[in-house]
Amino acid sequence: MKVGIFKENAKVDSRVAATPDSVARLIKLGLEVAVEKGAGVLSGFPDSGYKDAGASIVSSTDIFTADFIFSINLPSETRLSKLQSGSMLVTLPGLCEDDGTLASLAERNIDLLALERIPRISRAQSMDVLSSQANIGGYRAVLEATIQYKRFFPLMMTSAGSAKPARVVILGVGVAGLQAIATARRLGAQVWAYDVRPETSEQVESLGAKFIDLDLGEEGSGEGGYAKELSDEAKQKQQQLLSEELQKADVLISTAAIPCRPAPRLITEETVKGMREGSVIIDMAAATGGNCELTEAGSVIVKHGVQIVGHTNYPAMVPADASSFFSRNLVNLMELLVTREDEKLVRPDYMEDEVTEAALVVYQGKVRF
């Protein structure tokens, strides 16, 4: 069986779905690996590294014949049209906005394993690409804040005087938010954090930050550890209560997101107007509309004296480690996708495993999502 690694669109992503280390592990499983020429260059992995690990460097044409195709982002329509019947595409397809791709793949008998559908259970943690990439994103977002903020993060005492530590507020205490808290604390900032799920307060405090506790009259805890959308009344109350806390921030990092929904608007223009000039907002939800109503996706702007950063792919700003983490997740997943019987690799019954059963959104000619 052969695994093919696509080169990502350089305008979209600088990561790659496999590294030389992960290639070596795949080959150890008994798989043949083909990597598209130049796939790892932007992540710091030259073709020579893949060759040394045992992979073949090929054109995209040769990837189409693979049994399993790895790609971080959903390949272009042109590439999808060339995949062979009976193959399996393993990627992040973005299921919230299906444009008929799923039905088209099903009609051509191409399986699609959606990595965002891997369940958040203990045995699947090592395959959870959303968590591994969010962790990196939270880290990189704080580094971006230190670049955009024109002052120190930690308390600084010098012969010329002292500087107070930055006051950093994190909105959303998921994987990205927790890493942002930890990173900001390591850099010496004073950190506060808020989430609609009250159970996250213990996690916040365990990292040395303070939890912003608001009484909204309802909780925002949803399924699978995610937040759920609040009622309109609770949203309005949330904005009113949050505004005063947010205006105290020197740096505001927002990570709040709801699966398949526009990002909740937590930072109004009036809040931005009340922030100190020179403050920074890092809106990690920019790709889904932004937590700040002034955010412009893909741009860095200044409004009312506040720097608002709308970058949409923080993991890709740390491409080497982001690719390494992503590829390790896929190697661990691959151990569920193939098994050895009588010295041969075969595909097991995917419907008998809760991980693959949940993640296969197109399987054996049927759309299951």
Q: Which of 59, 120, 123, 126 is catalytic?
A: 120
Q: Determine the longest span between alpha carbons in the chain, in angstroms.
A: 74
> Are the folds of 2-117+338-367 and 135-317 the same?
yes
Domain positions in the chain are 2-117+338-367, 135-317
* Active-site residue flag, 299: no
* Active-site residue flag, 342: no
pLDDT per residue, tens digit, the chain (369 aa), is 999 999 999 999 999 999 999 999 999 999 999 999 999 999 999 999 999 999 999 999 999 999 999 999 999 999 999 999 999 999 999 888 778 999 999 999 999 999 999 999 999 999 999 999 999 999 999 999 999 999 999 999 888 888 999 999 999 999 999 999 999 999 999 999 999 888 899 999 999 999 998 876 666 555 555 555 667 777 777 777 888 889 999 999 999 988 888 998 999 999 999 999 999 999 999 999 999 999 999 999 999 999 999 999 999 999 999 999 999 999 999 999 999 988 899 999 999 999 999 999 999 999 998
* Active-site residue flag, 120: yes
Q: 250: number of CA atoms within 13 Å, CB side?
A: 19
Residue 362 structure tokens: 């197109």
Pick the CATH number of 2-117+338-367 from 3.40.1360.10, 3.30.470.20, 3.40.190.10, 3.40.50.720: 3.40.50.720
Give the fold, CATH level 3, of 135-317.
Answer: Rossmann fold (3.40.50)
Residue 279 structure tokens: 């403050």
* Active-site residue flag, 128: yes
To which residue do tokens 């054109």 refer? 59
Q: Which of 21, 62, 151, 226 is catalytic?
A: 226
- 212 in Cβ contact with 193 (< 8 Å): yes
3 state SS of 76: coil
3 state SS of 22: helix
* Active-site residue flag, 238: no
